[in-house]
């Protein structure tokens, strides 16, 4: 094949299994924004098609029009599958490790050094995905606080996606997911086992005892009471427009006291979003 022909072939749009017109995309984009707050740009058109085409195959549907009809007529059962399909779940143990270092050195160790009568710690992992962030928080707490039995520690881990929450609650990870933890943490916090002849690692009860997993849509009422010492809301609001971010963080701020911390993802910022927080580090914010 000549070079020009090869370029033309690579540039040509691939034939779709299902017709996917602008009306389909706009209707689904509007619904996703209403349900989840996620703002799907035009650049996400192929992503939406690719992920929802799987649902059409699974359901035996022929067109996106049929899928849209189903979304409005099945009593909400497929809505959960839609949300699960659209949300992105990229995570790792101790991802953006400087956040866990900051939590340990600036929050947990100072608390341990105090002689306060109340030894209470509350942390929220918002958008916990398959659980790596929540378990990383639990490991950080255990390593930083001596005699954990004397402490009242609770970590709330929430996500919109019910599928990833189920995996998080199981707490079983393939060997490649835990490789970067190092032998000391691996031996202390995980039990080696085999599933279908594959080596995997299950978190210990010491970690699971600190964490409660719950499904939560951030666009809905936030049921927790607070105050929360730290909130990890990382790589979540990047998918929200500015108005949605402002509304969310106005509600989040009520869950924290002055001095409590909020951690965002590396590409997220509260600039022109919230005046309730002051930046104090790399995507670390203090409640004012």
Q: Is residue 92 a part of any domain in this protein? A: no
Task: Tell me what the mean pLDDT of segment 168-178 comes to.
Answer: 95
Average pLDDT over residues 165-172: 96
Does the pLDDT of residue 203 top 70, yes or no? yes
For 130, which DSSP code? T
Q: 171 φ, ψ to 5°?
A: 65, 35
- Whole-model pTM: value is 0.83
* One domain, residues 47 and 75: yes
80: domain CATH number is: 1.10.155.10
Q: What's the CA gap between 121 and 126, in Å, rounded? A: 16
Q: How far is it, in rounded angstroms, from Cα 84 to Cα 161?
A: 5
| Residues annotated catalytic, as ranges | 51, 159
CA torsion, ordered 250, 255, 260, 262, to nearest 10 deg: -50
Residue with tokens 């990047």: 238
The phi and psi torsions of 261 (rounded to 5 degrees) equal: -115, 150
pLDDT at residue 7, as a whole number: 42
Do residues 79 and 158 share a domain? no
Q: What is the pLDDT of residue 9?
A: 40
User: Do residues 45 and 119 share a domain?
Assistant: no
Average pLDDT across the chain, whole number: 90
* Residue 80: predicted pLDDT: 84
What's the domain count of the chain?
A: 2
Mean pLDDT of 51-63: 94
In a domain, 263, yes or no: yes
| Closest listed residue to residue 206, CA positions, set 221, 191, 223 | 191
| Domain around 144 | 97-287
Quick one: pLDDT at residue 115?
A: 61
Of the residues 51, 86, 121, the one at which a domain ends: 86
pLDDT in tens, 186-201: 999 999 988 777 899 9
Helix pair 77-86, 22-36: axis angle to 10 deg: 100
């Amino acid at each position: 094949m000549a070079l020009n022909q090869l370029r033309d072939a690579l540039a040509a749009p691939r034939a779709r299994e299902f017709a996917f017109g602008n009306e389909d995309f706009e209707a689904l984009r509007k619904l996703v924004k209403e349900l989840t707050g996620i703002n799907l740009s035009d650049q996400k058109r192929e992503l939406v098609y690719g992920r929802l085409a799987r649902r059409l195959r699974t359901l035996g549907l022929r067109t996106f029009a049929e899928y849209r009809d189903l979304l409005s007529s099945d009593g909400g059962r497929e809505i959960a599958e839609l949300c699960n399909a659209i949300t992105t779940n990229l995570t790792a143990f101790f991802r953006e490790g400087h956040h866990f270092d900051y939590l340990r050195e600036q929050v947990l160790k100072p608390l341990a050094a105090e002689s306060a009568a109340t030894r209470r710690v509350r942390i929220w992992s918002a958008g916990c995905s398959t659980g790596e962030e929540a378990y990383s928080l639990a490991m950080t707490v255990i390593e930083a606080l001596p005699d954990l039995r004397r402490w009242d520690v609770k970590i709330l881990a929430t996500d919109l996606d019910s599928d990833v929450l189920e995996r998080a609650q199981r707490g079983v990870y393939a060997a490649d997911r835990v490789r970067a933890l190092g032998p000391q943490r691996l031996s202390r916090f995980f039990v080696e086992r085999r599933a279908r002849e594959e080596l995997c690692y299950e978190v210990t009860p010491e970690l699971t005892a600190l964490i409660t997993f719950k499904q939560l849509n951030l666009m809905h009422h936030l049921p927790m009471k607070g105050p929360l010492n730290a909130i990890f809301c990382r790589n979540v609001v990047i998918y929200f427009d500015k108005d949605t971010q402002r509304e969310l963080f106005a509600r989040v701020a009520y869950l924290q006291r002055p001095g409590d911390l909020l951690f965002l993802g590396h590409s997220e910022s509260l600039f022109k979003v919230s005046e309730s927080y002051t930046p104090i580090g790399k995507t670390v914010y203090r409640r004012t």
